[in-house]
Amino acid sequence: MSSPAANPYRAMLNGRDYREVIAETPERLTDLVEKIGPSGMERSYAEGKWSASQILAHLADCEIAFAFRLRQALAESHHLIQPFNQEAWASIYPGMNVSHALDVFRVVRAWNLAFVGALRADAFAKPVSHPERGAMTLQTILETIAGHDLNHLGQLETIAAQG
């Protein structure tokens, strides 16, 4: 079991199974994008925060990063996760194609779900570490993905409710 510092998103799960959350996210995300609509994609959930389109681009980028982390965690002994600067990555989000971001997220998530579904039970305990968060396991990465999903889905739900 990793420490709360290793996974600040665990609390977002509120007892839910991370597998269910990550499997449900693509459909929930698609529904929210439709509800927000093209005219609402530049709205933000709060002053100075990312717009719906920026959140969607961030989710697509993170899914790519998580795909790599999961595979590296499985392939290497005590893999050291490489953090990334999300604000630097986000600097190019304005004007990105929302449809492409949603497509990338859905396809890479489907591939990640297939990958996770093919793992043996002992793989989930494989140790990794993060320079900022400390000791983790492959399961911690999956719990992080699920909590991260819920965090951003909540932001998109707030934006959808504004419309």
* Average per-residue pLDDT for the chain: 92
What pLDDT digit, counting tens, does each position of 30-46 carry?
Answer: 999 999 999 999 999 99
Percent of the chain with pLDDT over 90: 77
Higher local confidence (pLDDT), 143 or 3 = 143
pTM for the full predicted model: 0.93
pLDDT at 153 over 90: yes
* DSSP for 75-131, written as a single string: HSTTEE-----HHHHHTT-TT--HHHHHHHHHHHHHHHHHHHHTS-GGGGG-EEEET
Tell me the per-residue pLDDT of 102-117, one tens digit each, with 9 for 90 and over: 999 999 999 999 999 9
Contacts of residue 31, defined as CB under 8 A and 6 or more positions apart, other chains included, come to none
Q: Across residues 143-154, what is the average pLDDT?
A: 96
**Residue 1 pLDDT:** 46
CB 101, CB 32: distance < 8 Å: no
Give the count of beta carbons closer than 10 Å to the beta carbon of residue 82: 11
Confidence of residue 28 (pLDDT cuts 50, 70, 90): very high
Q: Which CATH number fits domain 10-162: 1.20.120.450, 1.10.3720.10, 3.40.50.2300, 3.40.50.1000?
A: 1.20.120.450
Look at residue 2 and tell me whether its pLDDT is greater than 60.
Answer: no
How much is the pLDDT for 6? 58
